Chain A
Amino acid sequence: MNMNAPLSPYSSALGKANSEVHTLSVLVDNEPGVLARVVGLFSGRGYNIESLTVAEVAHAEHLSRITIVTSGTPEAIEQIGHQLERLVPIHKVTDLTLRGNAVERELAMIKVAGKGANRDEALRLAEAFRARVIDASIESFVFELTGAVGKIDQFIELMRPIGLVEVSRTGIAAMSRGPSPT
């Protein structure tokens, strides 16, 4: 929290000190504008989006799943859930972080350029991280890496001194563990 900013008399006493990161899984009708509604809700009400993934998940039923990683106080996150539920084309909002016991994965492509020892080192690390080579040239690789966010972050940091060129990440896809749906 910015201590220099004047404390608004309307601001809740809770402040922003206890900010948490939550993953929300949102099942929506796959209709035009539904993503704009969700994104517009976040920007209009000043909520954070740290990552967002969306794709159709059931073609016959026209359902898409939006997975959003957001941050805020527990109160703000509860409010985000309720605000999402108000949107008419939304079927279900699940706070996977609150429920616990969810699997979360992200896919990243990492382009690394280099020659000689750097090239060998990149390949060696890729193997250790179980990253696949999906493109190679004489002086570059594109690695594909799937895993938890932290693992991808770590891999990118290791590639940086070796010759990191660019990164493309999908954002998180997530799901509850066990037999019942999310």
Chain B
Amino acid sequence: MTEIMTGAEMVVRALNDQGVDVIFGYPGGAVLPIYDVLFHQKHIRHVLVRHEQGAAHAAEGFARSSGKAGVILVTSGPGATNVVTGLTDALMDSIPVVCITGQVPTHLIGSDAFQECDTVGITRHCTKHNYLVRQIEDLPRVLHEAFYVAQHGRPGPVVIDIPKDVQFAIGTYVGPRNIEHKTYRPRLDGDAQPLARAVEMMAAARRPILYTGGGVINAGPEASRLLRELAGLTSFPLTSTLMGLGAYPASGKNWLGMLGMHGTYEANNAMHGCDLMIAIGARFDDRITGRLDAFSPGSKKIHIDIDPSSINKNVKVDLGIVGDCGHVLRQLINAWRALASKPDKSVLAKWWAQIDKWRARNSLTFKNSIKVIKPQYAVQRLYELTKSRNTYITTEVGQHQMWAAQHYHFEEPNRWMTSGGLGTMGYGLPAAIGVQMAHPGALVIDIAGEASILMNMQELSTAAQYRLPVKIFILNNEYMGMVRQWQELLHDGRYSHSYSEALPDFVKLAEAYGAHGIRCSDPSKLDDAIMEMIDTPATVVFDCVVDKTENCLPMIPSGKAHNEMILPGDEAEIEDAIDASGKVLV
């Protein structure tokens, strides 16, 4: 069925037809016609952020916790440039986001008009795809195509730039059913031949490891279920990237903890010493591999990814399988079940015994204190007091993020929202707002640092406006902790501009926004304070005053291999561990 309507009406109608019920945005001159249509309807809730970057991260948080696309609506010029960080973040972490930007009318494009910028030019490098819609005839197709592109294949952000005259123009609306993308058809199933070879390799392995990433989570909850099934069938040990936490439960038998720069000793050593690595929806990022020429030198490697460009990009693998993680996992399970002779699980006994030895080093240990709250202890207590609830965790970026990844344990996918690839400070609070919009009754906690939280502090006002009971749990060490840690390790403790001078009083700040503020600096009072936070049915800012100079360990020093980790208690060695070539790395 076709209908005649304005471009602005088409935008809102297409959002409805795509099943969108929440959008995050900020009005301005070039999107007023769309805002006018929003005014007349009740199906879509609009969340007014305080800065467009907040809208982008909120849409990411919404998308990651719900599996649906997040939607952003902003104006031209500064509205568009302010979402660039969020779009880049979504691109790096493969988050499906559709961002609608207003543009000056077509006859003014190129004239340096007020609030004009080359939005498609600026966002070309930080989106999966983008569109400038110059005529009304293209608008319905582009709107639906954008949702298709954002959500299919490797997900990512898509921008639709709509000039104001196109929003006013009248045309024929076409629904999503009649639209199919001409060329973009990602492959979902893996090819039979490499799959058969993969199962042979798995059956022959004596020291295998499953290395999984955010791709498993992006493939939907069924992929996580299948991953658990495969791990159960094979008894293979399993580790995950930061982005993949929750796909396999942290309480699961095969779980080795997170791997990589701040991963566990057992996970990194198992990666180094394995004879078969099966990478599923992970991309061999530099945080994971450490020194590339010493990365898991003795192993055969299988890589399953929906993006062919991820295979052999950083690490040369022996077998690549292009496909959706969920589909390929199902194929692998079927092929494994069909094996004529399955290896006895006892062939892995030696490998598991070795892993248990590594595990016994207890690499996440820390020296607790009764005088000062250790940040790791704060996350541990937060975990213990919230684990039985319907909890979602977001983070900012830095030490607190790594401590959250190490000490908060996830049992389910889509519960952990963090900026992995881009490492965007200021992600966590707006992301928490997006999560809370998707899960109104849930307990949503942003584990933050005092420096990161100030980067998008203004969104506290958004949380207050919509009465979103998000909890902002600040591990306040008065430093940009990860910067301070690297300055200690690499620059002889010259803490150049990493001290958080002139911090606000976070309790008063919370109150100024109409939120509830809590401060705690005494370990013996921490549990009560956390319970107060949980039991307060409002936005809470928790100023958790922690040890100022705690370092985040264990750590693979930059430029080192997986088996060259610095463990807690080895701090003295850190300074000597990084050589000149490691120093240039980030």
Interface residues of B in 84-121 (CB under 8 A from A): 120-121
State which of A10, A33, A44, A83 has its C-beta within 8 Å of the C-beta of B292: A10
Nearest-neighbour CB distance to chain B for A112, whole angstroms, equals: 40
Inside 8 A of A89's CB, which chain B residues have their CB? 129, 183
Interface assignment of A6: CB less than 8 Å from any CB of chain B: yes
Residues 52-75 of chain A, each 1 if its beta carbon lies under 8 Å from chain B, else 0: 000000000000000000000001
Interface assignment of B312: CB less than 8 Å from any CB of chain A: yes
Nearest-neighbour CB distance to chain B for A45, whole angstroms, equals: 10
Interface assignment of A13: CB less than 8 Å from any CB of chain B: yes
Look across to chain A and name the residue whose beta carbon is closest to the beta carbon of B132: A32
Pair B125/A88 contact, Cβ less than 8 Å: no
Look across to chain B and name the residue whose beta carbon is closest to the beta carbon of A11: B292
Nearest-neighbour CB distance to chain B for A60, whole angstroms, equals: 14
Pair A9/B559 contact, Cβ less than 8 Å: yes
Interface assignment of B308: CB less than 8 Å from any CB of chain A: yes
Pair B293/A12 contact, Cβ less than 8 Å: yes
State which of B154, B309, B313, B582 has its C-beta within 8 Å of the C-beta of A9: B582
Interface assignment of B291: CB less than 8 Å from any CB of chain A: yes
Q: Could you tell me the distance between the alpha carbons of A88 and B559 in the complex, rounded to whole angstroms?
A: 35
Residues 9-36 of chain A, each 1 if its beta carbon lies under 8 Å from chain B, else 0: 1111100000000000000010011001
Nearest-neighbour CB distance to chain B for A35, whole angstroms, equals: 11
Interface assignment of A104: CB less than 8 Å from any CB of chain B: no
Nearest-neighbour CB distance to chain B for A22, whole angstroms, equals: 16
Pair A82/B309 contact, Cβ less than 8 Å: yes
Number of residues on chain A facing chain B (CB within 8 A) = 27
Q: Could you tell me the distance between the alpha carbons of A82 and B303 in the complex, rounded to whole angstroms?
A: 15
Inside 8 A of A13's CB, which chain B residues have their CB? 292-293
State which of A32, A75, A82 has its C-beta within 8 Å of the C-beta of B316: A75
State which of B130, B183, B312 has its C-beta within 8 Å of the C-beta of A91: B183
State which of A7, A33, A37, A86 has its C-beta within 8 Å of the C-beta of B581: A7
Residues 444-458 of chain B, each 1 if its beta carbon lies under 8 Å from chain A, else 0: 000000000000000
Given contacts A11-B292, A40-B125, contact A83 B309 (CB under 8 A): yes
State which of B129, B307, B582 has its C-beta within 8 Å of the C-beta of A88: B129
Q: Could you tell me the distance between the alpha carbons of A11 and B559 in the complex, rounded to whole angstroms?
A: 10
Nearest-neighbour CB distance to chain B for A12, whole angstroms, equals: 6
Interface assignment of A85: CB less than 8 Å from any CB of chain B: yes
State which of A6, A8, A88 has its C-beta within 8 Å of the C-beta of B184: A88
State which of B124, B149, B183, B308 has its C-beta within 8 Å of the C-beta of A33: B124
Pair B309/A6 contact, Cβ less than 8 Å: no
Interface assignment of B360: CB less than 8 Å from any CB of chain A: no
Look across to chain B and name the residue whose beta carbon is closest to the beta carbon of A13: B293
Pair A9/B585 contact, Cβ less than 8 Å: yes
Look across to chain B and name the residue whose beta carbon is closest to the beta carbon of A12: B292
Interface assignment of B471: CB less than 8 Å from any CB of chain A: no
Look across to chain B and name the residue whose beta carbon is closest to the beta carbon of A75: B312
Q: Could you tell me the distance between the alpha carbons of A36 and B123 in the complex, rounded to whole angstroms?
A: 12
Pair A79/B585 contact, Cβ less than 8 Å: no
Interface assignment of B137: CB less than 8 Å from any CB of chain A: no
Look across to chain A and name the residue whose beta carbon is closest to the beta carbon of B181: A88
State which of B130, B149, B183 has its C-beta within 8 Å of the C-beta of A29: B183
Inside 8 A of B316's CB, which chain A residues have their CB? 12, 75
Q: Could you tell me the distance between the alpha carbons of A12 and B584 in the complex, rounded to whole angstroms?
A: 16
Nearest-neighbour CB distance to chain B for A3, whole angstroms, equals: 14
Pair B309/A86 contact, Cβ less than 8 Å: yes
Pair A10/B124 contact, Cβ less than 8 Å: no
Pair A10/B585 contact, Cβ less than 8 Å: yes
Given contacts A36-B121, A75-B316, A86-B309, contact A6 B580 (CB under 8 A): yes
Interface assignment of A50: CB less than 8 Å from any CB of chain B: no
Interface assignment of A78: CB less than 8 Å from any CB of chain B: yes
Inside 8 A of B154's CB, which chain A residues have their CB? 86
Residues 542-575 of chain B, each 1 if its beta carbon lies under 8 Å from chain A, else 0: 0000000000000000111000000000000000
Interface residues of B in 159-189 (CB under 8 A from A): 181-184
Look across to chain A and name the residue whose beta carbon is closest to the beta carbon of B129: A88
Residues 294-318 of chain B, each 1 if its beta carbon lies under 8 Å from chain A, else 0: 0000000000000111011110100
State which of A36, A75, A88 has its C-beta within 8 Å of the C-beta of B149: A88
Inside 8 A of A91's CB, which chain B residues have their CB? 183
Interface assignment of A90: CB less than 8 Å from any CB of chain B: yes
Nearest-neighbour CB distance to chain B for A41, whole angstroms, equals: 9
Interface assignment of B128: CB less than 8 Å from any CB of chain A: yes
Q: Could you tell me the distance between the alpha carbons of A49 and B314 in the complex, rounded to whole angstroms?
A: 21
Q: Could you tell me the distance between the alpha carbons of A91 and B182 in the complex, rounded to whole angstroms?
A: 9
Nearest-neighbour CB distance to chain A for B395, whole angstroms, equals: 25
Looking at A7, A10, A44, which has the most chain B CB atoms within 10 Å of its CB?
Answer: A10
Inside 8 A of B584's CB, which chain A residues have their CB? 6, 8
Residues 112-153 of chain B, each 1 if its beta carbon lies under 8 Å from chain A, else 0: 000000001100110011101000000000000000010000
Pair A79/B312 contact, Cβ less than 8 Å: yes
Interface assignment of B229: CB less than 8 Å from any CB of chain A: no
Look across to chain B and name the residue whose beta carbon is closest to the beta carbon of A91: B183
A-B contact pairs, 15 of them (CB 8 A): A6-B580, A6-B584, A8-B581, A10-B289, A10-B559, A10-B585, A33-B120, A36-B121, A40-B124, A44-B125, A79-B312, A79-B313, A82-B309, A85-B309, A88-B149
- A-B CB proximity, top 10 nearest: A82-B309, A9-B559, A88-B129, A9-B291, A82-B308, A13-B293, A83-B309, A91-B183, A6-B581, A10-B292
